[in-house]
Structure 1
């Protein structure tokens, strides 16, 4: 699987975890030079608190387009150290 935005490959892995239709990429498969920490946080009742990254490619910024659960609840431990994408990020095979 690949996560692509603004013609850049943000992440690439043969080992994603699918939860609620989203592919979660292992953190070490994500090119962190495209990520900028965001102050956004949301809460999921069964996964826990999510933190976000903006994706930055060249001069373009896709705000809060990547998220992860730094300390997921027990039912979501399979996505610990994984990131997922949305907001126009294409996730393709």
Structure 2
């Protein structure tokens, strides 16, 4: 079962059948993510084939680490065509967040 943790705290956990593997990242379904540990980041980014990205700060103890998670709230149709599934709202993690 893929799990995303930071300093031993579970940020997301889902069955392997429910996660998506895209470009070396594990994307967790929206319902599997602890949103209390995320807050919106103002960092802008648009992927050429996935669409506009929403980055998040991830809570680590008493601090918030900027841009350690992201999602595509309204992905381009090309994303679903390329992945074979609607990726809207799926969340991936980076750096200090360990995915195993």
Give 1 or 2: higher strand fraction.
1
- TM-score calculated relative to the size of structure 2: 0.86
Gap runs ≥5 in structure 1:
none
Contact 1:5 1:89 in 2 (8 A): yes
- TM-score calculated relative to the size of structure 1: 0.92
Please name the residue that 2:89 is paired with: 81
Gap runs ≥5 in structure 2:
81-85
Question: RMSD value over aligned CA atoms?
Answer: 1.1
Please name the residue that 2:7 is paired with: 6
Contact 1:37 1:53 in 2 (8 A): yes
Contact 1:62 1:87 in 2 (8 A): no
Distance 2:95 2:43 in 1: 14
Is it true that 1:61 corresponds to 2:64 in the alignment? yes
Number of residue pairs the alignment of both structures matches: 92
